Structure 1
Amino acid sequence: MPATLTQLLAQTDLGLRLLTPAGSAALDQPILWAHSSELADPTPFLSEGQVLLITGTPDDVEPYVARLVAHGIAGLGFGTEVVRDGTPDALAEACIRHGLPLFEVPYRTPFIAIARFIADRVAVDSYARSTWALGAFRAISLAALRPDALGSALAELARQLGHPVALVGATGAVDRVFPAHALDAAARASLVAAAEPLLRARRRAGSTVLLGQESFTLQTLGAAGRLRGVLAVGGDALDPADQQVVTGVVALAGLALEQTRATDAARARLRTAVWRALLAGDPATAAVVAEPVIGALPAGPVRLALFAGASVDAAAEWLELHPAPFFARDGDDLVVLLEAGAVADDLATRFDLRAGVSAPASLESLRAALAQASASRDRSSAGAPVSAFDDLAGGGMLGLLHTEDARAVAAASLAPLADEPTLLAILRTWLDHGGVYDAAARDLGIHRHTLRTRVAEAERLLGRDLTSFPARADLYLALQLVP
């Protein structure tokens, strides 16, 4: 480790003398460097953990020492017989009050000798840590040659660091922990909660989380858009050598996890082939192809869910890593066969997708189910990302017309009556009664001849003959679509 004041004071050839109480914990803190400065406030030019060397007495001793302590200065050395003999009592008293170690440097000891001792120790420590890092990564690389390459590498990383290491898979669950019992159930739950937003973001990122009494550094694995997991490494303060080893393992783990993508791509192509066989009305062939690799197909009836969005690839990867019903890519879309009664809301919410769900269908009638799901998805919205065909069918044929285009046409056809709200109400009542004048007139509380006159007025304004069923049906639909 780097030099400490205890080690520095022990160098008899330097002749240093401690003027503040011995036994202070501050004497064993690492010293990163030594600087000399006679400025009234040298702190802007110093870093935490350094030693300051001076020869003159500060003008305001109390605030001077307070600033050094607040800045994290490790110790203060006073060179005697340069400006004055001995160390000022006021300076010693202020250092004692503030807990700042103060030592006296004799005239025969140049400040450069102190700086050289500290620099040599820093260099030795840096070399030792670099050597350790090389040895640690060599051990990790050898461990990666074992059958369970990833698990062996992570276990060796935990052993080298002396801190626990955990891997959260792309599914969001804790995949493995080293040592095996390093995290209890509560810590595992907290780790999953901390990793979840990183995986959801689908971009490379890192964070920290406190699990029990230990801080963990989290780092995503894999490329942006197709993350393969999150690596969690324990340790409150990892030094550069530790970070170097962890960075190497992140790359190694990412490579190991990325190698599974070739297998995933082959499985995706097989799923697409099975889906095409199902669409062709050949579930027997589809079942034979699917069984050895992706398992048995659902027996039916099933609901076909059709998903679209920028994250369908991520959704497919997530389904591949979870126990899930049959799914496949269909061009830019994702198809999932759900057991009757299941819903697709969770997948749509998790990956910000739009989806349509068909009515229950057999495996032999999936082409019709696909059309239903497509029609339903076209009516999904940001507020309701999943649309079910059952709801669409419940609205009858009129429900299919509730689109922006249909409403625009309806508004245009009724524009001549825009200033006649009473006439619009009369037409709605008349058509609700099937165009029967007597029944509609009684409901409106007017004479049937008056009603005939008002309908004739509407025909004149609209430029349409309302004696035929198609004309009445068209008007009825327009009135339904325009409030």
Structure 2
Amino acid sequence: MKPTVQTLLDRDELGLRLLTSPLARDGAALAAPVVWAHSSDLADPTPFLDAGHVLLTTGTQFDGDEAGGDAAGFARAYVQRLGDRGVAALGFGTEVIRDGTPTALVEACAELGLPLFEVPYRVPFIAIAKLVADLLAEDAYARQAWALSAQRAISRAALRPDGLSATLGELSQRLDTWVGLVDATGALDREAPIGGLAQPALGEVVGEARSMLRRGQRAGRTLLAGDSVGEAQQVTLQTLGSGGALRGVLAIGDSPELDQAGREVVTSVIALAGLALEQNRNLDRARGHLRTGLLRSLLSGDTALADGVATEMWGPLPSAPVRVAVADAPALAFDRMTELLELRVDERGGRLFFARDEDRVVLVLEAADGEIADELSSEFEVPVGLSDAVGLEALALAHEQGLRALERARESGAREAGTRGAGQGGAGAARPRVVAFDEISRQGVLAFLARTDARAVAIATLAPLVEHDAASGTSLVETVRTWLEHGGQFDATAQRLGVHRHTIRSRIALAERLLDRDLSGFHARADLWAALLAVQ
């Protein structure tokens, strides 16, 4: 430990005598670390001092001329400057310039809480300065020895079967504090000791770690967790991995060992943890290639092979009926997405299968397990398409349904974003959502065919009606839509719109002239209905 004021007072060879109360500054003054000892008789030595210094003086500045006749005021101002500078203590050398320590100085130190001790004539100031230097050197050596021992122990722990957990456990023991690892999905992966950080502090730490992961940049910060309940604990958080590919966040509770030596030990743990997670990442990539191969087997109908390999690796395939979910997988988020899905596979005992398919991820899940699709869409802000429930033998069909539903989810998000942008001066973005294939199938084949790439054609087709309505204040588009919805029945359309049937006939005839097409035939009506769906 670094020397303190009390350390100096306890050295018999110095014979220092404390002149102020040991309870100064709420009893903490004598325990303050001393970082150096400096001597000066200047009236204001503070420009040459730093916090933690012990100032030694023979008192030349306290003669009548320097004090200007106001000894008490001079002494108080002098001590106030030292206290403001963070000086740890003041030592007064007696019998050099004057006998004893000035009463005004003793009173000022007592009043302002600055420890004051008397240095006997036989003890040179250089002896005190040398002792402080020696003690600081001993402390530095001890801390380096501690750091070296801790790093060796942590390195040995990293070689154990579960090296990452052993490393965190060793760090926790060496720092005598709680240590946790939040993985790339934002979940608390492991901690030491278990339960060492209680709620709500733990929730705050995990929440902040998730925010750091979402930002995707290497960073470190200190969090005062649990402050709202009056039991705050300082927790240091440091991301693991490179920017854009973060592997997790290391969280370390408050510890008196976190000085320079302690931070060196933490740095070594960050390196080891990052290496371990990177190795896991490489293993995940190998497993990912295997999953992709199994997905191809499933889609080709070879479910026996895929089920056998999956059972050995992760657990059996989901039980029929199953759904196929297809989600966009941005490159920057794919590793985090994979880790989340691996976690969900473990939770389900293997009854969830996923694999990468180009720039998408494909999931095979039990029919009642749809919440994982919602979680993917919400957590990573990606569109997801979900198939109907099928048997394992129909996975190829379900995969095709998932792809079509994903396309509709993308289009829905793009249209909603465009609507929000137009209504908010170009600002605002739609949140991606999950689209189930049955939402499309309920709308019919024409609705499925009226895709984004048909929208431009549809707008051009309906332009004569839209322009006429805008110029003349008519409602041809609404009339045509209602008429088609009622199977071309004039009476039903008139009743629905609240006008005479002859008015409807007149409007439809005008629409035929503007569109230059005969709407009495099925083909023309179906084409117009598809155009209306495409722009809806």
TM range (shorter): 0.7 to 0.9
- The one-letter amino acid paired with 2:431 is G
2:458 counterpart SS class: helix
**Does the aligned pair in 2 maintain the 1:35–1:50 contact within 8 Å?**
yes
1:336 counterpart SS class: strand
- Which residue of 91, 105, 110 maps to 2:105? 91
- Which residue of 340, 344, 350 maps to 2:379? 350
Q: Which residue of 2 aligns with 1:460?
A: 513
Q: Does structure 1 residue 386 correspond to structure 2 residue 434?
A: yes
For residues 346-379 of structure 1, what are the alpha-carbon distances to aligned partners after superposition, in whole Å with 9 as ceiling and x for unaligned? Answer: 1221222221111112222222222222222223
* Distance change in 2, residues 1:328/1:44 (3 Å): farther
- Which residue of 375, 384, 392 maps to 1:363? 392
Give the deviation of 1:274 after TM superposition. Answer: 0.7
Q: Which sits farther off after the overlay, 149-158 or 260-269?
A: 149-158
In structure 1, the gaps of 5 or more residues are: none
Q: Which residue of 1 aligns with 2:288?
A: 268
Q: Which residue of 2 aligns with 1:27?
A: 30
Give the deviation of 1:110 after TM superposition. Answer: 5.6
* Aligned equivalents of 1:161, 1:265: Cα separation in 2: 34
Give the deviation of 1:475 after TM superposition. Answer: 3.0
Q: Which residue of 2 aligns with 1:282?
A: 302
Q: Does structure 1 residue 473 correspond to structure 2 residue 519?
A: no
For residues 3-58 of structure 1, what are the alpha-carbon distances to aligned partners after superposition, in whole Å with 9 as ceiling and x for unaligned? Answer: 22233345566565433235654223220123456676655654332223454248
- Which residue of 45, 50, 71 maps to 1:47? 50
Q: TM-score, normalised by structure 2?
A: 0.77
Q: Does structure 1 residue 131 correspond to structure 2 residue 145?
A: yes
Q: Which sits farther off after the overlay, 329-338 or 315-324?
A: 315-324
**Does the aligned pair in 2 maintain the 1:2–1:118 contact within 8 Å?**
no
For residues 426-455 of structure 1, what are the alpha-carbon distances to aligned partners after superposition, in whole Å with 9 as ceiling and x for unaligned? Answer: 43444444334566567664463x655544
Q: Which residue of 2 aligns with 1:336?
A: 363
1:139 counterpart SS class: helix
Give the deviation of 1:193 after TM superposition. Answer: 4.7
Please give the residue correspondences for 1:174-193 in structure 2 after superposition, counting only pairs within 5 Å.
174-179=188-193, 182=196, 192-193=206-207
**Does the aligned pair in 2 maintain the 1:209–1:218 contact within 8 Å?**
no
* Distance change in 2, residues 1:144/1:282 (3 Å): closer
* Distance change in 2, residues 1:427/1:169 (3 Å): closer
2:301 counterpart SS class: coil
* Distance change in 2, residues 1:302/1:37 (3 Å): farther
* Aligned equivalents of 1:146, 1:194: Cα separation in 2: 30
Q: Does structure 1 residue 434 correspond to structure 2 residue 454?
A: no
Q: Which sits farther off after the overlay, 100-109 or 241-250?
A: 100-109
Q: Which sits farther off after the overlay, 93-102 or 25-34?
A: 25-34
2:336 counterpart SS class: helix
* Aligned equivalents of 1:10, 1:440: Cα separation in 2: 104
* Aligned equivalents of 2:81, 2:173: Cα separation in 1: 41
1:266 counterpart SS class: helix
Q: Does structure 1 residue 312 correspond to structure 2 residue 334?
A: yes
* Distance change in 2, residues 1:186/1:78 (3 Å): same
Q: Which residue of 2 aligns with 1:102?
A: 116
* Aligned equivalents of 1:402, 1:63: Cα separation in 2: 85
For residues 100-154 of structure 1, what are the alpha-carbon distances to aligned partners after superposition, in whole Å with 9 as ceiling and x for unaligned? Answer: 0123456776654433322221111101111121122223333444444334433
Q: Which residue of 2 aligns with 1:140?
A: 154
1:395 counterpart SS class: coil
Q: Does structure 1 residue 154 correspond to structure 2 residue 168?
A: yes
User: Between the two proteins, what is the percent identity of the paired residues?
Assistant: 51
Q: TM-score, normalised by structure 1?
A: 0.85
* Distance change in 2, residues 1:226/1:285 (3 Å): same
* Aligned equivalents of 1:180, 1:440: Cα separation in 2: 70
- The one-letter amino acid paired with 1:135 is S
* Aligned equivalents of 2:204, 2:506: Cα separation in 1: 75
1:295 counterpart SS class: coil
- The one-letter amino acid paired with 2:366 is E
**Does the aligned pair in 2 maintain the 1:312–1:351 contact within 8 Å?**
no
Q: Which residue of 1 aligns with 2:405?
A: 376
Q: Which sits farther off after the overlay, 346-355 or 7-16?
A: 7-16
Q: Which sits farther off after the overlay, 421-430 or 337-346?
A: 421-430
**Does the aligned pair in 2 maintain the 1:312–1:333 contact within 8 Å?**
no
Alignment coverage as a number of residue pairs: 482
For residues 358-409 of structure 1, what are the alpha-carbon distances to aligned partners after superposition, in whole Å with 9 as ceiling and x for unaligned? Answer: 1112222222222222222223223342222122222223533665554443
- Which residue of 114, 119, 136 maps to 1:122? 136
- The one-letter amino acid paired with 2:522 is F
* Distance change in 2, residues 1:82/1:447 (3 Å): same
* Aligned equivalents of 2:22, 2:490: Cα separation in 1: 111
* Aligned equivalents of 2:166, 2:507: Cα separation in 1: 87
Give the deviation of 1:209 after TM superposition. Answer: 5.1
* Aligned equivalents of 1:158, 1:473: Cα separation in 2: 71
- The one-letter amino acid paired with 1:75 is A
* Distance change in 2, residues 1:320/1:442 (3 Å): closer
Please give the residue correspondences for 1:212-223 in structure 2 after superposition, counting only pairs within 5 Å.
215-223=234-242
* Aligned equivalents of 1:479, 1:147: Cα separation in 2: 64
Give the deviation of 1:330 after TM superposition. Answer: 0.6
Q: Which residue of 2 aligns with 1:255?
A: 275
**Does the aligned pair in 2 maintain the 1:287–1:296 contact within 8 Å?**
yes
Q: Which sits farther off after the overlay, 466-475 or 246-255?
A: 466-475
**Does the aligned pair in 1 maintain the 2:387–2:405 contact within 8 Å?**
yes
Please give the residue correspondences for 1:229-240 in structure 2 after superposition, counting only pairs within 5 Å.
229-237=248-256, 238-240=258-260
RMSD: 3.5
Q: Does structure 1 residue 246 correspond to structure 2 residue 266?
A: yes
1:299 counterpart SS class: coil
Give the deviation of 1:164 after TM superposition. Answer: 4.2
**Does the aligned pair in 2 maintain the 1:174–1:188 contact within 8 Å?**
no
- The one-letter amino acid paired with 2:383 is R
Q: Which residue of 2 aligns with 1:299?
A: 319
2:324 counterpart SS class: strand
1:347 counterpart SS class: helix
Q: Which sits farther off after the overlay, 342-351 or 63-72?
A: 63-72
- The one-letter amino acid paired with 1:158 is S
- The one-letter amino acid paired with 2:285 is A
